[in-house]
Chains A and B, each alone.
Chain A
Amino acid sequence: MINLTIDGTEVSVEEGASILDAARKANVKIPTLCYHPDQTVKAVCRICVVEVEGMPGLQASCSTPASEGMVVKTASPKVIRARKDIMELIMARHPMECLGCQQNGRCELQNVAASLNMSKPSRYPLDIRKATIDNTSPSIVRDMQKCILCGRCEETCSDVQEIMVMAKENRGYYSMMVPPYGKKLVDTPCVNCGQCVQVCPTGAITVKDDTEKVYSFMDQDKVMVASIAPSVRVNLAEALGEEPGTVSTGRMITALRKIGFDRVFDTDFAADLTIMEEGSELLDRIQNGGTLPMFTSCCPAWIKYAETFYPEHLDNLSSCKSPMEMFGPLIKTYFAEKVKIEPSKICSVAIMPCTAKKFECQRDEMNASGYQDIDVVLTVQELARMIQTAGIDFKNLEEGEFDNPFGLGSGAGLIFGATGGVMEAALRTVYEKVTGKEMDPLDFTPVRGFEGIKEASVDLDGTVVKVAVAHGLGNARKILQEIGSGRAQYHFVEIMACPGGCIGGGGNAPRTWAKVEERKRAIYEEEKRLPVRKSHENPWIQQIYKEYLGAPLGEKSHQLLHTHYVNRHDLLGS
């Protein structure tokens, strides 16, 4: 342990801790901008400077290791003046459009400026970087005028997801974080995962806002149908300022009704449907010599990744649509027929933790009902803003219940929200289908948790099925290389693009691993409380197969619930 003094308080920290770590331990607040708890130390913004006795000048506290006997001043007039000067220079390059910025009120830069009491007029003329807004992507908007060059987006894109869309262009004053050669996001291999949105401290990279689309559909007197993804119930309250991991299923349903939705459905139901189809597909592939390993296909960012970087593996992808896109056609066929509404009068909105879903709903294949199956995708962030805009007191809202006929999802559907969840849910059903016995224990822990690649095997009456789970596209790349080279052999592989799975998705409130851990805890706790924990035991699933779909992999499901993929290798360019 190392002992040092910060602002007169003695504190001891582990070897290797920075001054910033020590200060946090001593409850001393030092402002930061480029620092992110999940990332490497960059020390480029310099806003966290402190005075250290015996060291010349000021030191960046994020990158200076704490050492024995160090005496640190974090708020001396010298330090405060330096921080204000740094902030003044950042502000001289930042468009002062806070009132019209999507991040207004949620912006780290704004918060730091507020904490520094930047009340004096600036000494420098405003010189905003000349950059145009890139809104070519269906998921992400980039406004490089607002960028402060912290480098977080590049780290997440290059080192975590390994997509490598972003590059720092030019030098010094003229630096800019861009896709190379002035390309727009839509022309790059960007998979729309939104992890860059998650780490951006300003409004430079934001979720494309589709709330206006929803309001205009409401104006057209459409029957507004919402379907809510599994992970949203553990993320929405956090996006509205409550503690990470707060479950708000009932309040969320009431809020959607108040906003103006006529029906609120649970995407957990569609996740159960996915398990029925995907489980049957897996068994079919294993028993009839189909392409193995089979990859899950719930994650639209992973799908685009495979289409772009590994088109040779497209046959390995399950032909099942994602739960959201299975739900879309059912709403505009089965549900529409049941309640006798013209499908063209329905506006189907999916509430998702995900930015890539915005891309997915616009894919050509997603028109199985004869209409665009899902009209609008809203992320958790957008829904939170709609709730705020509507003046709803979310914290004190009464609990509502999902509407039928899609009102009940099983626990298996719910855990889709965390990495390993699809695998666990599928195994519960497949195991019981093959062996006739319930899996014991029902909690399949080897595939839970945040290890990058998880492996397990299950004995299905003599057939040993080897499975693997990867989350984060960097891990996906590793597992694909292992499979491609023949070093690893699996039957079934779950891949989620975002680290942690959907609970760490790009459309949620800004993430850290600590927060994602809380969301995971919440989702597994909530799962245990549900009456049905296996997809095939969901009574509404049994009913829809009896009334409408027939059997899994049948003709009707083939038409509505399965899809094909497109080779996008050309996006990698020359």
Chain B
Amino acid sequence: MEEEMDRNLTYRVPASTLVEVAKIAAPYRDRPEHLMKVVLKVEQIVPIFSQDVTAVISREMNIPQTQVYSFVTFYQMLYTGRRGKYVIHMCQSAPCHIRGAEEVAKAVEDMLHIKMGETTEDNRFTLAYAPCMGVCDVSPAIMINGKVYGNLTPDSVREVIKRYIREEVQ
């Protein structure tokens, strides 16, 4: 997280997608309080909030791009830089920590040969900490592209990751 962020300044979203982004943002011109709504909708159609995406949101909503950027980087689950096909969010809150999240995180790191906050070279996995997901009853937990896996041990998390490596998860 704190390392020089893995940035992809040259990444460009296709022009047709930018048109879609503009359609989502345009109705909220001069209404900055709706930025979260716009960002969540845009997230469904773009992989990352790259420069061109935040520029379109900024232009359509009439908010400075720096503010859109600040907003997006504030939330750990939104991405401005490189991001893999699968994003593994590791819960960083206390309950998961007490129940062995650290060992689980270490197991994933070792398995994918990346550290927290990094993306594998083949762009398939991104590993990142996330704030509490509210599933403390099954702690320690991870979330992969919106799917939650709980009650993990280093062994069971390796099994989960393996299924993603083999593309067995729909």
Contacts and interface: CB of A to CB of B under 8 A. Distances in A.
Interface of A: 129-130, 132, 158, 164-171, 174, 180-183, 573-574
A169 B73 contact: yes
B127 to A, nearest CB: 16
B9 A169 contact: no
Contacts of B65: 164, 180
A164 B73 contact: no
Given A166-B66, A170-B73, A181 B80 contact: yes
Contacts of A171: 73-76
16 contacts: A166-B66, A168-B70, A169-B69, A169-B70, A169-B73, A170-B1, A170-B74, A180-B51, A180-B66, A181-B9, A181-B51, A181-B69, A182-B4, A182-B5, A182-B9, A573-B51
B52 interface: yes
The A interface, classified by DSSP as helix, strand, loop or mixed, is loop
Contacts, number: 52
- In order of increasing CB-CB distance, the 9 nearest A-B pairs are A167-B66, A180-B69, A574-B52, A182-B7, A167-B70, A574-B55, A169-B73, A164-B64, A164-B66
A356 to B, nearest CB: 21
A442 B161 CA distance: 81
A181 B7 contact: yes
A130 B55 contact: no
A452 to B, nearest CB: 20
B167 interface: no
Q: Which of A132, A171, A183 has most B Cβ within 10 Å?
A: A171
Contacts of A574: 51-52, 55
Contact of B67 (A129, A165, A167, A573): A167
Nearest to A169: B73
A365 B39 CA distance: 44
Interface of B: 1-5, 7, 9, 50-52, 54-55, 64-67, 69-70, 73-76, 80
A32 B52 CA distance: 39
Nearest to A183: B9
Contacts of B5: 182
A320 B5 CA distance: 44
B73 to A, nearest CB: 5
Contacts of A164: 64-66
A133 to B, nearest CB: 13
B66 A174 contact: no
Given A129-B2, A130-B3, A180-B65, 7 more contacts: A167-B70, A169-B69, A169-B73, A180-B51, A182-B7, A183-B9, A573-B51
A165 B66 contact: yes
A180 B52 CA distance: 12
Nearest to A171: B74
A75 to B, nearest CB: 36
A205 B119 CA distance: 32
Contacts of A166: 66
A166 B66 CA distance: 7
Nearest to B52: A574
Contacts of A168: 70
Contacts of B67: 167
B76 to A, nearest CB: 7
With a 10 A CB-CB cut-off, give which of A129, A164, A181 has the most chain B CB atoms. A181
A171 B77 CA distance: 12
Contacts of B70: 167-169
A498 B52 CA distance: 31
A128 to B, nearest CB: 10
B2 to A, nearest CB: 5
Nearest to B117: A174
Contacts of B73: 167, 169-171
Given A164-B66, A182-B7, A573-B51, A130 B2 contact: yes
Nearest to B131: A171
A573 B2 CA distance: 26
A278 to B, nearest CB: 34
A334 B116 CA distance: 64
A181 to B, nearest CB: 6
A158 B4 CA distance: 24
A158 B66 contact: yes
B155 to A, nearest CB: 31
Contacts of A132: 4
Contact of A573 (B4, B55, B64): B55
Contacts of B3: 130
Nearest to B1: A174
B18 to A, nearest CB: 9
A183 B69 CA distance: 13
A130 B51 contact: no
B71 to A, nearest CB: 9
Contacts of B74: 170-171
